[in-house]
Structure 1
Amino acid sequence: MTTALYLEHYLDSLEHLPIELQRNFTLMRDLDARAQGLMKEIDKLADDYLKNLKKELPDKKKEQLMHIQSLFNKAKEYGDDKVQLAIQTYELVDKHIRRLDSDLARFEAEIQDKALNSSRIQEETVNASKKGRKKLKEKEKRKKGIAGASSEDETKAARKKQKKGGSVTSSASTGVVGSGATVDSSNIGHPADVLDMPVDPNEPTYCLCHQVSYGEMIGCDNPDCPIEWFHFSCVGLTTKPKGKWFCPKCTLDRKKK
């Protein structure tokens, strides 16, 4: 049940309360006025009785005392009725207070249940999201592991070919160029499909461009070359050259010597 419904039902139950309270207070005031009037009359009769105590006959005295006693009894009845009305008024108000407390307790319990359900749903959603991310990370790790192993195998195979002699390519043919060739590294061009390829951070890089192996590559014949392998396009080669070939850096070093 919503807050508005609780409030609406409670206000409906209070609709007749002011009228009932006003009626009880009016009756209590009327009973109090009657009791006060009787007490004044009793005081007057008591004064007269005391003034004429020695003059009146015993029968007359007895009659006056009985009359005063009856007035006392009547005033006591008015007082008892007023007390009963006060108790009824208290119980009437207390009944509505108890109902209000009960409605508030039920409303708070409903709010707590909704909060618990919302928290449980949120927790389940978070757990499901965490599991999904964990599975996705595990899948990505497996893919990276497979790609890294494949790249490492290709690199090892290329190096084995280099040790056996000659130049190597990463996926096709190899070639050598005559010594003395120079290339401007600022004019290096790369195929668009190669630049768009995702790069494995674990895969080694080569050439002046510091990229992974692709296409036709040539090895520098200087055994101390720090780079070793170069892409054909990066060093200006289009066909398989003849003779020994040295990279631009090693060519400059040889000229200086």
Structure 2
Amino acid sequence: MAKGMYLEHYLDSIEGLPCELQRNFALMGDLDNRTEEKKAEINELAAEYVAKVRNLASEERVQHLKKIENAYQKCKEYSDDKVQLAMQIYEMVDKHIRQLDADLARFENDLQEKLDSGIQDSSDEKHSQKDKNIKEKKGSHGRDKKGSDQDSPKQKKQKNGTSPNVSEALLTMHPSDVLDMPVDPNEPTYCLCTQVSYGEMIGCDNTDCPIEWFHFACVGLTIKPKGKWYCPRCIQEMRKK
């Protein structure tokens, strides 16, 4: 599936990222240690200068102050190196974030194209079968088996021309939100897992099937089988007969 392809590609791209980040953080830690050592050296030089300044000649004072200046300069170099490492870390992470955004955008386009083509190509056959089932189930006054005057949520989807292959919410939702989207308590549930419709689904050809629609993964399918298809429960009931 496209989702698996994009996920595998992205995981491959970030495989070396943890090692690179660990290396840079280790270098930053080493620079911190060197800076602390230089700071301690500066404190010692400063204390020594204050204690001996009255007894030092002008040239010795200059040399002593030069040592302190050099130590400060080293601290500054260490700080600049840390900034450069931090910028590298930011750019590495930002590069992968931008790649993720681009992959999500491509995945969204692929998903929308698949939804559009899938609904148009496969809905006619499924709708004709389901419409036939609905007519058989309804009485002369347009009531279904349960005597309801109103269509079920699934029948409403079929009348609107939308296959139960996907939830209507997925048509307007960003793909990054699909896995985390909240479940509407009013959304009808299907399949053996009693979950809402999502992804690719298949309808049982048993007109009396109490469930009717099933997720591909829940019934071990990856592609639509040819010919008639019966769900595991209906197959078990048929074998008993």
Q: TM-score, normalised by structure 2?
A: 0.49
TM-score (normalised: structure 1): 0.46
Q: Which has the higher contact order (CA 8 A, sep 6+)?
A: 1
- Bigger Rg, structure 1 or 2: 1
